[in-house]
Amino acid sequence: MSAREVAVLLLWLSCCGSALWRYSSNSPNYRIFSTRSTIKLEYEGTLFTEWSVPETCFVLNKSSPTTELRCSSPGVHAIKPIVTGPDEEERYLFVESSHTCFLWYYRVRHFLNNLTQLITVWAYDPESADPDELLGNAEEPSINSIVLSTQMATLGQKPVIHTILKRKVYSSNEKMRRGTWRIVVPMAKDDALKEIRGNQVTFQDCFIADFLILLTFPLLTIPEIPGYLPISSPRGSQLMASWDACVVASAVLVTDMETFHTTDSFKSWTRIRVPPDILSDDERRSVAHVILLRDGIVFLINGVLYVRSFHGFIRLGGIINLPDGGITGISSRKWCWVNYLLKAKGRRSTFAVWTENEIYLGSIRLKFARLVTTTELKNILSLSVTATLTIDRVEYTGHPLEIAVFLNYCTVCTVTKKIFLVIYNEDTKQWVSQDFTLDAPIDSVTMPHFTFSALPGLLLWNKHSIYYCYHNFTFTGILQTPAGHGNLSMLSNDSIIHEVFIDYYGAILVKMENNVIFYSKINTRDAVKLHLWTNYTTRAFIFLSTSGQTYFLYALDDGTIQIQDYPLRLEAQSIAFTTKDKCPYMAFHNNVAHVFYFLDKGEALTVWTQIVYPENTGLYVIVESYGPKILQESHEISFEAAFGYCTKTLTLTFYQNVDYERISDYFETQHNHTGLVLVQFRPSEYSKACPIAQKVFQIAVGCDDKKFIAIKGFSKKGCHHHDFSYVIEKSYLRHQPSKNLRVRYIWGEYGCPLRLDFTEKFQPVVQLFDDNGYVKDVEANFIVWEIHGRDDYSFNNTMAQSGCLHEAQTWKSMIELNKHLPLEEVWGPEFL
């Protein structure tokens, strides 16, 4: 945001609500907040007198509502404005003594001809950077940044790109150009999360902070077309939004004036407009819900779905197997699982559509199929046929393959109803009723949001209260404030709940319509009220950035929007200092390097997790798993105590113990021991003051479709591909045909022929590969056959020489046994 934009935003905010104050730094997302940082103070209101700061901090202009602050000593510093009216809130700012002073800056160019991305990287000092660098708009480094990067390179600095999911590393092969490094990486939709990392090199005792980035295929916003009209929510309604779960920078926001689309976390955006001849003026102002998909933006208007895409604006209905009206809700996935295991053929859904009595699931290219009706659910769940059953909500859970359906159930539907929950697994096609029942007024509206966790957990809220269900619905209750209030409206001037935000680390923000924010953590029972950041009348929404930080988006009265970083960590620390809330442990570590592990048959996975805590508190790490019971675990615990602290380390090995040689049905056993298991590590105790509350990852057991086998020595490169064929003498063919058989060699499938002396004995060496290359030689029995039917080959050993006690299976015996099957299917592991 430019200086002029900040001034306009502050002027607009200050005239529209109560007094408040906030702070900011030059470092994006408050990533550096130290004794070296310039802290900017901003007061909104008319009662300001001066700033109250500790003696160890220096304020540039004590009597100015907008000024700068520096604190020369680390620690907790009490800051507040002195006003002529009632006292303003005092914040306790945690200022660090850090040797991390510099940040990485990057620009990306996309090359679609070879599907690569050129990342230009340089280092910059947020305390001396150009405004364009601070705003993320710079196309090249400033003079100060060129000097800094060049000096760091002289000292041995050289950044690399690490991918988070696949753990690949890319570095620059070129010399430095005008203070920049250039790194080429391939485009990848399943490995988009990356981190810029540097060497441990210091300049003036300062390091460069690692920087998390999200690099996807180029994303475009839907362009504005002249003559098209705005589409919006009803006048006076609150903001609504949707975002891509795996590309959070791609989002859509609906206000009561416009709809906005972005692909870079609203640093830039376009307005979404629709043709003037499809919707009436009232319909254009009646958006009830919105979903952002890769195929476009889906709007729910008066029970009908419409989609706005690059191809136009159309009504969805019977032509794609959806109802033409009566739709009551739509939802999409909230959590990103790039990898998952589907045993069944097909794809998982991307969003759900429902009426009072039917549920439809949609996938890419807007393909829909009806999942279930309430009549069918009554039969599945063994409910009374005379009772009233309607669909309340459909929500995707934290599991990559499961969908939760909240059902309204009543027999005499006049005063109250029961809300209960069933979960559907898209892979197994099974419905499982959960241990969850909620009594509610017949006309009540509740909204669910599942947490990112192994065991199912969710928050459910109405206008005033939050109902939590953790640990597979065994830990439940109403979220309470320290004063004992479960009604959050009582502590927010009777405002009602607008948004519930949950991140991957377990932080929970409950934003009221008047922008009062309550803070909690998953698996805890209470919430605290945070300092006021935005005035009561501003229309705002909380988003997650690609770096995992939160930011506010404001919808202004002139029909535009503005964004502002929100220091959630600092604000939570300030309240924790006030309430004397402390984290019960000092450190919580693990060596889980991936969020997705694939275990093949016979493989094992060993990981460890560690917790450090004060003596005599007895903490430990809880391990929870969710999914089919196909894995066994072995545990090993080590314990150390020194200087008043205990370190407890838990080492776990996940493995299977199935003897496939002693089973009667290979494929059924393999199918029953294949699946997806979610695993979670969490401390036995924690509080809102703890920075990280959990570690969640998947273990998929089965066949990895990215793995393949090949015979050693057969390469598809290094030989000339020409039209080559050979002839098999008819007397050598099993079926004794009347003519010789001419066979054409398929270079693309077989690769270069292996050159051998005909007197050499040949035994194939089977090698295993994945998308990273060679993995290992395969040590297993395998079968070789000649696909054209020749039978003139011979073997090196007899059965007796190989140690067989009984006659082994042979091609002759297996062909005779399975005459109805093609040659490639007559012999396999299922016949062992």
Instruction: For CA atoms 214, 215, 217, 218, give the dihedral sign.
Output: positive
Contacts of 681 (CB under 8 A, 6+ apart): 590, 592, 609, 621, 622, 623, 694, 695
Tell me the CATH number for domain 100-214.
2.60.40
The residue with tokens 């695993």 is: 679
Cα–Cα nearest to 450, from 388, 373, 414, 504: 504
Angstrom distance (rounded) from CA 55 to CA 35: 14
Determine contact, residues 700/598, Cβ cutoff 8 Å. Answer: yes
CATH code of 3-95, in short, is: 2.60.40
Q: Is the pLDDT of residue 8 over 60?
A: no
pLDDT mean over 598-622:
92
CATH number of 587-701: 2.60.40
In whole angstroms, what is the distance from residue 50 CA to residue 70 CA?
16
Spatial distance between the Cα atoms of 5 and 593, rounded to a whole number of angstroms: 41
Q: What digits encode the pLDDT tens for the residues 587-601? A: 999 999 889 998 987
Q: Give tens-digit pLDDT for 291-350.
A: 999 889 999 999 999 999 999 999 999 989 999 999 999 999 999 998 888 877 778 999
Say if residue 706's pLDDT is above 90. no
The four Cα atoms 503, 507, 508, 512 give a dihedral, to 10 degrees, of -90
Instruction: List the domain boundaries for the chain.
Output: 3-95, 100-214, 230-316, 587-701, 708-796
Counts of helices then strands in the chain (DSSP H, E)? 9, 57
Q: Stretch 260-269: mean pLDDT, rounded? A: 95
Residue located via tokens 């890319």: 170
| Residue 223 DSSP symbol | P
Of the candidates 413, 293, 433, which has an alpha carbon nearest to the alpha carbon of residue 356? 413
Q: Are strands 75-83 and 116-124 parallel, antiparallel or unpaired?
A: unpaired
Give the C-alpha separation, 600 to 330, whole Å.
37
* Dihedral of alpha carbons 166, 172, 177, 179, sign: positive
The model scores a pTM over 0.85: yes
Report the pLDDT value the prediction gives residue 109, as an integer from 0 to 100.
95
SS3 231: coil
Pairing of the two strands 695-701 and 596-599: parallel
Bridging pattern class, strands 517-521 and 402-410:
unpaired
Whole-number percent of the chain with pLDDT over 70? 97
> What is residue 6's predicted lDDT score, i.e. its pLDDT?
46
Inter-CA distances, 350 with 214, 632, 711, Å: 21, 32, 39
Q: How far apart are CA 682 and CA 609, in angstroms?
A: 9
- pLDDT tens by residue, 531-575: 999 999 999 999 999 888 899 999 999 999 999 999 999 999 999
Q: What is the pLDDT of residue 810?
A: 80
Of 351, 372, 469, 454, nearest to 420 (Cα)? 469
Closest CA to 523 of 300, 641, 683: 683
- Which has the closest alpha carbon to 634: 655, 648, 619? 655
| pLDDT at 663 exceeding the cut of 90 | no
Contact 359, 371 (CB under 8 A): yes
